[in-house]
Chains A and B, each alone.
Chain A
Amino acid sequence: MIELQHLTKMYGNVVGLNDINVTLDSAAYGLIGPNGSGKTTLINLLIGHFRPTIGSVTVFGKTPTRNREILRRIGLCPASDVLYPNVSALEWVRYQVRLHGIDRHQCGKLAEAALEIVGMTEAMGRPMGTYSLGMRQRTKLAQAIAHQPDLLILDEPYNGLDPVGRSEMTTILKSWASEGRGLLFASHVLQEIEAVTSSFLLIHGGRLLASGTANEIESILADTPQDVVVLGADASRLVQRLADAPWVNSLSLTNQRTQLNVSLSDTAEFYRLIPQWISDDQLSIDRLKTSNGNLEALFESLLRHHRGETP
């Protein structure tokens, strides 16, 4: 579905994307990375809006910049809002479909069907200026799926959605993915992506740090130095246990002595021994914070792996 070879994008002297190599078959993928990591740049390259500085992009075997007709097989739901206040959702979606060169009579039917999927049938005749943010998000999704693409690309689709809206969006995306069609879903919130797919592309600083399923990424992290934060009243008492352990790279205790930051080269050994130590020494430990629950820490660990700082 997507093949990126040595894909690099420069904005003058600033690196947008740096030497990305990946091949993705038709399936659902989460593109995860913090703000400014290069997610939107990658999306702009996939739709042929940007040209690679170095390397190549092919989508369904074709280069998007040279084969604009390939865009008919791609649906994009960008992060930016729609600002046509006096146009109805039906008019706008129909117009967007029409710009793919689809027959005028068919456009209305496709637009109505897409708006029905996202639950906008009742409001589709109203001007978009009267819509809530959630309704505009759903309208954006409708324009992305209306021309029945083979690959759906979404950039932060949960922005502005309330819990009900998030749940509905997740249901729609799961349904899309279950039909075997391509889905690339960019977000900076891991949990949003996990609700839809278990395959990830992790991007940071313009570099693709890891790709694969959650298990595959975990196995990468298992060999990578990781930070674990120990929180609790007796966190400081763990220092004596950890100080001599050969798989501990560094230890640091905060001023309040209730938070111990541990850098580990072997997390498996740490997790094997820590319950025993807590039990034997009768320590009061509230929780352990790892990169699984902290995206920045996860990226930090992956960056180390990317730089070859593995044991």
Chain B
Amino acid sequence: MNAWSLPFDVMRFELRRSMTLGRLALWFLLVAFPVAIIATISSIARINLGAEFNAQELVEPFGMTLYFLVPEVTCLLGLLLWATPAISSEIEGQTWVYLTMRSAGRSTVLLGKYMTAVVWTLSAALVSVGISALIIGPEVSFRLWWVLSVLSVLSCVVHAALYVLIGAVFYRRTMVAAVVYTMVVEYGMSFVPALVNKLTVNYRLRGLLADWMGWEDARSQAENIFGSESATTHVSMLAVMALTLITLALWRVGRTEYPTQQEG
């Protein structure tokens, strides 16, 4: 019990020290920007359609927009800020040596920081999804809300593991490496109609979106984007990805002689 609760204590410490004006402002920004975009689109649709506005009929464009804004953008932006610099921030702050010389230091700190990144980003994503779903329309909000909430959870869990691994491998120019990976693989290769897109997180998330929202037309018309596998396959693949990535990150952190930036 004592050992199992260690990553939670790291998370508590990390969340405590993240209570700064800058960090809180970023959290609100992550919540606000999808809400602002959805509110703008919704207002335009209501003005243009007037009495003919029917949220049920517009659930697919609204759902896809909200999916793109939250699980694919908000979650990734939040995790880029939190999960990617998990190691590099300690190295740059010259505090890594304090952590690495603790008997449970390296692995516990990495797991704790991973959990912190997930919790911090996910909280912003869930609030954003909740408010946005209500803006789109109460008649569709429940299904849209739970599907996008679950997708946000999956996005945060898997992407955080991915960024933590990138941070553990590329402890110099971490952000550059993570942004390049995201643009090339998650936003680029995930749309390539080949085997390679099945190895991306966003492909799996899009497949689940179409499956859980029952958008069969979209799946049949754009199989390379939404896939044809079952939800179970997608979830299993995401679970395997998350476990593999975090295990690799733990292994890497346990083995690497990161610089302590000290002289002498």
Contacts and interface: CB of A to CB of B under 8 A. Distances in A.
Interface string B214-258: 000000000000000000000000000000000000000000011
B242 to A, nearest CB: 24
A100 B264 contact: no
A210 B100 CA distance: 30
Given A40-B262, A40-B263, A80 B94 contact: yes
B260 interface: yes
Contacts of A99: 6, 10, 99, 102-105, 108-109
Interface hub of B19, B94, B109 (most chain A Cβ within 10 A): B94
B102 A71 contact: yes
Given A83-B93, A101-B103, A78 B2 contact: no
Given A86-B19, A86-B20, A99-B108, A36 B263 contact: yes
A78 to B, nearest CB: 5
Interface residues of A, number: 43
A147 to B, nearest CB: 9
B40 interface: no
B93 A91 contact: no
Given A40-B260, A78-B262, A96 B98 contact: yes
B98 A86 contact: no
Contacts of A186: 264
Contacts of B260: 40, 44, 49, 78, 80
Contacts of B195: none
Interface string A80-95: 1111101100010001
B257 to A, nearest CB: 5
A215 to B, nearest CB: 26
Interface string A32-58: 010111111000100111110000000
Given A50-B257, A51-B257, A99-B108, A79 B262 contact: yes
A115 interface: no
Interface of B: 2-3, 5-6, 9-10, 13, 16-17, 19-20, 93-95, 97-105, 108-109, 257-258, 260-264
Interface of A: 33, 35-40, 44, 47-51, 68-72, 74, 76, 78-84, 86-87, 91, 95-96, 98-101, 103-104, 143, 155-156, 186, 188
